Amino acid sequence: MIDKIKEHIGEAQAFTTDNKDALEVFRIKFLGSKGLLKDLFAEFKNVPNDQKKEFGQVINLLKTTAEDKVKAIQDALESKEVSGGIYGDLTRPGEPLVIGSRHPISLVKNQIVDIFSNIGFNVSEGPEIEDDWHNFTALNLPEYHPARDMQDTFFIQTNPDVLLRTHTSSVQVRYMEGNKPPIRTISPGRVFRNEAVSSRSHCIFHQVEGLYIDQNVSFADLKQTLLYFTKEMFGKSKIRLRPSYFPFTEPSAEVDIYWGLKTETDYRITKGTGWLEIMGCGMVDPNVLKNCGIDADKYNGFAFGMGIERIAMLLYQIGDIRMFYENDVRFLEQFKSSI
């Protein structure tokens, strides 16, 4: 009888499975209410007295072996289930990575920067919270100048001389203060104006402004630079410059491109004229150069500026500027890119 029990011990030690049903069959066979151990404990009273000690020891060993084996396999199976729940089936083929979406404003800004980088313009950046000097006074907009009304401003309550910049021209002022001519830079960035939010305007938007300062710079240089930009950006080779007014440039102009009248959309966005305004520009006012410590008798230059949202709305035919700021995934997914 003892030898038979030892055979059962060996069987229990050798048992292995990764199936719950097979484990349950094993448990019932050894530990169930009608299992081997139940019968063996019942047989204990019939064992001779001189064998009872050894008989009891091997029965207890069989019980311990069977219980340990059941617990070990149960723990292994539960661990496997938890691992599978976290990582899934590790033998499955890998899924392709989902390509993210660049924001259309970032796409257009990068394209503009690349175009002007090809003709020697570097990129300059500055703070979004500015002081009155860099945002207004240095740009030929002294206090109480009527042109300040053109740019409704967010002022910092605790300090009326501190404000959210209304244009990235303030970056150009800082650049001129810290660098000597020749200067050729563009300044992309976010700006703020206290304007009513609608489908065509917003209180937060983005600009790219350009500046070129050197000796003997002419209006013709400005025109050729802008013509190069419009060809590269829009594929349009016909532009016109209309007289305009900006306090920091003289003479000043608005730049239009001939968009055409091929589709109904062309008629709508150009109001039936075929011409579309895209930016403002002009020759830098000598007072601005003097305010920035540049000799206006020796140097001159031109500046230009455009709204990135306006360019993006043209390129992607977006009808509402508010869509740029609503973080609608359905809108952003239209601009998936591998770049």
Q: Would you say 209 is a known binding-site residue?
A: no
Tell me the C-alpha distance between 172 and 75, whole Å: 68
User: ω before 251 within 30° of 0 (cis)?
Assistant: yes
Rounded-to-integer distance, Cα 104 and Cα 94, Å? 30
Could you give the C-alpha distances from 238 to 44, 105, 113, 194, in angstroms and in order?
A: 109, 25, 22, 34
Write phi, then psi, for 130 (nearest 5 degrees): -115, 170
* Residue numbers belonging to the annotated binding site for Mg(2+): 250
* Residue numbers belonging to the annotated binding site: 250
